[in-house]
Homo-oligomer: A and B are copies of this chain.
Amino acid sequence: METEAPERGFPESEFAGRTCEAQALMAEQGLGGLLLTTEAEVRYFSGFQTQFWQSPTRPWFLFVPAEGKPIAIVPEIGATLMRKTWIEDIRTWSAPNPEDDGIGLLLDLLCPLASGEERIGVPKGPETSLRMPLGDWERLIAALPGLEIVDATGIVRTLRMVKSPAEIEKLAHVCAIGSATFERVPDFARNGRELAEVFRSFKREALALGADDVPYLVGSAGQGGYRDIISPPSRRPLRTGDILMLDTGSTWDGYYCDFDRNFAIGRSDDLSRRAYDILWRATEAGIETVRPGRTCRDIFNAMRSVIAEMDDGAGDVGRLGHGLGMQLTEWPSHAAFDDTAIEENMVLTLEPSLGYGDGLMMVHEENVVVRSGGAELLTVRAAPELPVI
- Taking Cβ atoms with an 8 Å cutoff, the residues of A that contact B are 2, 38, 40, 49-52, 54-58, 75-78, 80-81, 84, 94-99, 101, 122-135, 137-138, 151, 153, 196-197, 200, 203-204, 207-208, 212-218, 227-232, 249, 316-319, 322, 327-329, 333, 335, 337-338
- With a cutoff of 8 Å between Cβ atoms, the chain B residues found around residue A203 in the complex are 207, 213
Q: Which residue of B lies closest to A253 (CB)?
A: B232
On whether the beta carbons of A230 and B52 are closer than 8 Å, the reply is yes
Other than A77-B230, A213-B215, give 14 A-B pairs with Cβ distance below 8 A: A2-B196, A52-B230, A55-B328, A56-B129, A57-B126, A57-B329, A77-B229, A77-B318, A81-B230, A96-B335, A98-B337, A101-B126, A128-B133, A204-B207
- The 4 closest A-B CB pairs, nearest first, are A124-B135, A124-B134, A55-B329, A52-B230
Q: Which residue of B lies closest to A139 (CB)?
A: B124
Copies in the complex: 2
How near does chain B come to A40, taking the closest CB pair, in angstroms?
A: 8
On whether the beta carbons of A81 and B228 are closer than 8 Å, the reply is yes
On whether the beta carbons of B218 and A94 are closer than 8 Å, the reply is no
On whether the beta carbons of A318 and B126 are closer than 8 Å, the reply is no
- With a cutoff of 8 Å between Cβ atoms, the chain B residues found around residue A54 in the complex are 215-216, 249, 327-328
Q: Which residue of B lies closest to A203 (CB)?
A: B207
Query: Contact partner of A99 among B75, B81, B337, CB < 8 A?
Result: B337
How near does chain B come to A371, taking the closest CB pair, in angstroms?
A: 25
Bound together, the chains give a CA A216 to CA B212 distance in angstroms of 11
- With a cutoff of 8 Å between Cβ atoms, the chain B residues found around residue A230 in the complex are 50-52, 77-78, 81
Bound together, the chains give a CA A232 to CA B52 distance in angstroms of 10
Most buried by B among A96, A218, A322: A96
On whether the beta carbons of A57 and B322 are closer than 8 Å, the reply is yes
Q: Which residue of B lies closest to A228 (CB)?
A: B80
On whether the beta carbons of A51 and B217 are closer than 8 Å, the reply is yes
On whether the beta carbons of A94 and B316 are closer than 8 Å, the reply is yes
6 A-B pairs within 8 Å (CB atoms) are namely A77-B317, A84-B231, A98-B125, A98-B337, A129-B131, A203-B207
On whether the beta carbons of B55 and A218 are closer than 8 Å, the reply is no
- With a cutoff of 8 Å between Cβ atoms, the chain B residues found around residue A77 in the complex are 229-230, 316-318
Given A124-B135, A125-B135, does the pair A97, B337 have CB atoms closer than 8 Å?
yes
On whether the beta carbons of B96 and A333 are closer than 8 Å, the reply is yes
On whether the beta carbons of A200 and B207 are closer than 8 Å, the reply is yes
Bound together, the chains give a CA A122 to CA B197 distance in angstroms of 39
Given A128-B133, A151-B135, A316-B94, does the pair A51, B232 have CB atoms closer than 8 Å?
yes
Bound together, the chains give a CA A77 to CA B353 distance in angstroms of 11
On whether the beta carbons of A227 and B316 are closer than 8 Å, the reply is no
- With a cutoff of 8 Å between Cβ atoms, the chain B residues found around residue A338 in the complex are 98
How near does chain B come to A319, taking the closest CB pair, in angstroms?
A: 6
On whether the beta carbons of B95 and A318 are closer than 8 Å, the reply is yes
- With a cutoff of 8 Å between Cβ atoms, the chain B residues found around residue A200 in the complex are 207-208, 212
- With a cutoff of 8 Å between Cβ atoms, the chain B residues found around residue A125 in the complex are 98, 133, 135
On whether the beta carbons of A96 and B130 are closer than 8 Å, the reply is no
